[in-house]
Amino acid sequence: MDKKPCKSQDVEVRKGPWTMEEDLILINYIATHGEGVWNNLARAAGLKRTGKSCRLRWLNYLRPDVRRGNITPEEQLLIMELHAKWGNRWSKIAKHLPGRTDNEIKNYWRTRIQKHINKQAEAFSFHISTPELLDHHASTSQLPCNGSTSFMETYSPMSSFNHCNLEPFPGQQQEVQQQQQLQPQQQHIVDQPNNESYWSMEDFWSMQLLNGD
């Protein structure tokens, strides 16, 4: 799908992780010229990237209003509600979560919520196949709610989800621990009061200073 960025001159296209230098070039360029046609921007800024790649990097990572770090329980609930309503319309869902990107929400859904749901579905089918265990599990069941409802009913926020306790998923506690163990430089990026995490231009610049660039 991505054609060569320029027909007249076969410029090599870089792929893979963005370097700090590339980030800086992109930030500087957009700061002075603003966003525009991404293919032109990539060329004009001297980045050996496709416009598409620049756009993605900017929207998902470099934009100053991008909010990074833990998804809060409130956001988690909202994601589940909106997903139940709209399905995998990530960009639509993202519009209702200021500072969150569709990519972030999509990743969050796939790695945390979907896995959580799958586990519960497995547990549910296990219950079905082993009815003799129902009594034992009645008090300690990991099922979110009512064990006699279908799984999708269980998941749907419009039905029984609202009655369930919104506990952090297993990964979330781990995340908190991980964040506490982050390198000082990383901590500067992600740690903010109230568990709010932002990546700002100031952060970027101060990192540049730290790195002696």
Partner DNA sequence: AAAGCGCACAACCGCAGCCTG
Partner DNA sequence: ACAGGCTGCGGTTGTGCGCTT
In the bound state with DNA, the residue whose beta carbon lies nearer, of 107 and 148, is 107
Extract the tokens encoding 168.
Answer: 């952090």
Residue number, 147 or 168, with CB nearest to DNA? 168
Give phi and psi for 158, each to the nearest 5: -80, -15
**Does residue 92 touch DNA according to CB under 7 A?**
yes
User: Which one, of 71, 78, 88, 72, lies nearest residue 162 by Cα?
Assistant: 78
Name the segment binding DNA (CB under 7 A); options: 7-15, 121-129, 131-139, 154-162. 7-15
Binding characters for DNA, 20-59, by CB under 7 A (x = yes): ----------------xxxxx--------x-xxx-xxx--
DSSP 208: H
Burial track 19-43 (b if 16+ CB lie within 10 A, e otherwise): eeebbbbbbebbeeeeeeebbebbb
d(CA 154, CA 65): 35
- Should residue 182 be labelled a site residue for DNA when binding is judged by CB under 7 A? yes
Residue count, binding to DNA (CB under 7 A)? 47
The 10 Å Cβ neighbour count of residue 112 is 19
Q: Which of 29, 90, 124, 155 binds DNA (CB under 7 A)?
A: 90
Site for DNA in 133-162 (CB under 7 A): none
| Cross-strand bridge partners of residue 67 | 198
The yes or no reply on residue 18 touching DNA (CB under 7 A) is yes
Residue type at position 24: L
Binding site for DNA (CB under 7 A): 1-3, 7, 14-18, 36-40, 49, 51-53, 55-57, 60-61, 68, 88-92, 102-104, 106-108, 110-112, 115, 170-171, 174-175, 177-178, 181-182
